Structure 1
């Protein structure tokens, strides 16, 4: 049974890396001095490097591992704007003018990414296909309706609310209890975007170095001394863009982030016509669980990519893949004969206030805190951080104009994350106990998707 679930060529690595693998770049020695050192080669770091180098600054991007090996090339590749701030109530308690600034700048991140991809001619498979938000439990539908109304009112996105019967227009499954569609959102190939940003940054003069773990930074006159495993670099400016992969080289930053692992699987290519039944309009799909489920077609429309945090204590790739597959089959039982080709995980950075931040401490800039919504957001924040450091703007975006609180003691430890995950699972069980139990027991759901197309016709 276990063996039949996996393709013979199964790999415990991101599906995205088939088209755009991480890069080793450690043959060239580190420069002695640059205008800007960027720590981290994800979307934020590369966007900052591109912006700085475009303006004539000398830039060195340093990564502890291969370039593009972190969360940016491991994500689901879903692209949105300010919905996370609205749906999580992260702005509650802020003054009205701050809430307005947050929503305006959040919407700007989506537009910024689209413009950047067009302007720089980045090969990223961007598709403005929309997203379906599904109700995991019957009582969640009313909450989703309220969220949809708030989202439309506060961000202006185009929304359609769907009943359980109407949802078959979007997803060929009875798993959900209705939901809503946001037409304005989309998806892309995250590893291709990372590769394209690397190429663009290099083309403007930035230099990128892999396997150059930063050990620490020290204020040195009007600049900084950056110590790495490959030597020392002096820089006028330093930017930490390490997000969920922040380590002890910055104790101050580490106290403000909680790294949380999210897992995904990819199926082998589906038989002709099956995707038309599963996700007819090729939308991005998420649900209303506390332990969020997210799924989508691959950019070429041939495979299902399926992600969630299935169990707090599991780490072995094949066991994780089976747990995700069990949930996937509750969505779509007809995928039972379809094998898994890839399984992987990546760390996202959560903050105490559930908001991303651009902030300076002791002369060092930081752009972090994606909170699971980082493709457009972190690309924008890296660009904005570079502008601030190099004096190219007098305007501070909302994310650069609020305090960056530390997380409570011990909450960024593995033990706490496991406890929090267990609490989320309990809340999902309370909302829909039958579904959670059936999923854990591996019970099949009766398939209805084979009749979906006929019903529409």
Structure 2
């Protein structure tokens, strides 16, 4: 490894894991029966288990690896509030009074509610996870992107109550110590979190509400019974009235019909060594999370203690080693902050996000009756926490409304089986388009 980039104490694992014990507790005994079996021990599954437990139902959560080993503890810790919903949709019918499409407006409203859900559960369950509503700055990669943001801001403020405003380029240094972008948008109704501590807080809350959490317990065949389901596992069978699929970017052959509706995309992140305090304090004066409008997205922030940069993006669209991803992300970081030249990387890691073909989250039930919440599209901390809880309410019969994401058509493509062989080509095309857009800016 290049000593100019990699710190001598470099770890090929998430920076967030330094705050937790990834070994988890020893697995509990597998019950013979539960009210609900949840397959997937991430944010979706745990929020569902908590809601079920609050309603008096016994949930058993199955995780094939260590609890929290997936994207739930690998993400960048940004918590959106509906601002990313609907970008891929423009042709639906029925305009709302605020000018947004009525269907998209309902989705954005629910996505905005997901931020409220995060804040409620963190407060109610007393989860110490460095939750802060400090807002987000989205940098415009080109003047055209800035104009597009300007055209979207009224709808975000109307429907998502985003408290958003535009920042012209000559005021950009109020948001970040860089001239890299052509201005951008501030969305105040967003936040950030320590994802691993949030996940651990959810685990503790789920157990307090009666859930059984089983790491190292891989689900196998699913058999429909007269009164529910039989789930085979590597530790024996379990029966339940309902089954929830909460596997998102790790959805596999257990549910092939859901797998072929999702595109797993790798997202890569680095953490820098501890910075000089004055330099660290200067990078993001208002302590926001940062992102941009490129096709090959970057997202970044300071660590909760404000000492180092956490920088993520699509260094590659597929899984690659830190030796490949870290230098690419390091170079992207220097493009934005040349003053970080010479700063080394202490951690590099990757995890899968799941994109849907319509760029929307999906909640519903399969033809056989399996519940699911899938398709975070890169913004899963809030929306999948929210949809997990909504599935719990739905199973209990406690939902006071049907979420806009529930029961919608969940598209796929002919001949697609869930293996995204086309991602390297798409990544190359996106990088070329980003380069061309910048050249023409």
Task: Sort the TM-score into its range (normalised by shorter chain).
Answer: over 0.9
Q: Paired residue for 1:183? A: 188
Is the aligned partner of 1:79 residue 2:79? yes
Provide the C-alpha distance between the structure 2 equivalents of 1:90 and 1:393, rounded to a whole number of angstroms.
27
Structure-to-structure mapping, 1:14-413, within 5 angstroms? 14-86=14-86, 88-90=87-89, 92-96=91-95, 97-312=102-317, 315-361=320-366, 362-393=368-399, 395-410=401-416, 412-413=418-419
Distance (whole Å) between structure 2 residues aligned to residue 247 and residue 136 of structure 1: 35
In 2, Cα distance between equivalents of 1:423 and 1:412: 21
Residues 100-109 or 402-411, more deviating: 402-411
Rounded Cα–Cα distance in structure 1 between residues aligned with 2:93 and 2:65: 38
**Using the alignment, how far apart are the partners of 2:298 and 2:403 within structure 1?**
30
Mean CA deviation greater in 246-255 or 149-158: 149-158
CA distance in 2, matches of 1:401, 1:386: 15
Q: CA deviation at 1:313?
A: 6.2
Q: Are the aligned partners of 1:124 and 1:193 in contact in 2 as well (CA < 8 Å)?
A: yes
Question: What is the CA deviation profile of residues 304-361 of structure 1, one whole-angstrom value per residue up to 9, with x for unaligned ones?
Answer: 0001112346712122101100110111111112110000011001111111111111
User: Quick one: distance in 2 between partners of 1:82 and 1:37?
Assistant: 29
* CA deviation string 1:13-40 (max 9, x = no partner): 1111111243444543311111110111
1:416-427 matches, within 5 Å, as: 416-427=422-433
SS in 1 for 2:421: helix
| Alignment check: 8 A CA contact 2:256 2:417 kept | no
1:64/1:210 contact within 8 Å kept = yes
| Contact map agreement 2:88 2:358 (CA 8 A) in 1 | no
Q: Which segment is superposed worse, 369-378 or 155-164?
A: 155-164
Distance (whole Å) between structure 2 residues aligned to residue 160 and residue 313 of structure 1: 34
* Bigger shift: residues 134-143 or 241-250: 134-143
> What SS does structure 1 have at the residue aligned with 2:56?
coil
Superposition deviation, residue 93 in structure 1 = 1.4
Answer with 311-320 or 38-47: which moved more.
311-320
Q: Distance in 2 between matches of 1:397 and 1:352?
A: 20
Residues of 2 paired with 1:131 and 1:217: CA distance?
A: 42
Aligned counterpart, 2:99: none
Q: Secondary structure at the match of 2:85?
A: helix
User: Using the alignment, how far apart are the partners of 1:395 and 1:280 within structure 2?
Assistant: 40
| Pairwise CA distance, 1:275 | 2.0
Partner of 1:192: helix, strand, or coil?
helix
Q: Name 2:438's counterpart in structure 1.
A: 432
Q: Residue deviations 1:116-138, cap 9 Å, x none?
A: 11111111211111110111123
What's the secondary structure of 1:345's corresponding residue? Answer: strand
Distance 2:103 2:17 in 1: 39
Seen in structure 2, the aligned counterparts of structure 1 residues 407 and 20 have a Cα distance that, compared at 3 Å, is farther
Per-residue deviation, 1:7: 1.2
- Structure 1 range deviating more: 23-32 or 421-430: 23-32
The unaligned stretches of length 5 or more in structure 2 are 96-101
Task: Number of aligned residue pairs: give it.
Answer: 434
Change (3 A) 1:407 1:26: farther
Q: Secondary structure at the match of 2:57?
A: coil
Tell me how far apart the structure 1 counterparts of residues 64 and 93 of structure 2 sit (CA, whole Å): 37
Q: Specify every segment of 5 or more residues in structure 1 that has no aligned partner in the other structure, as ranges.
A: 436-457
Q: Is the 8 A contact 1:257 1:407 kept in 2?
A: no
Check conservation: 1:359, 1:404, Cα contact below 8 A. no
Determine the C-alpha separation between the residues in 2 that align with 1:320 and 1:71.
17
How many Å separate the matches in 2 of 1:282 and 1:393?
A: 36
- Mean CA deviation greater in 304-313 or 246-255: 304-313
TM-score (norm 2): 0.94
Equivalents in 2 of 1:33, 1:368: separation in Å?
25
SS at match of 2:220: strand
- Offset of residue 428 of structure 1: 0.5
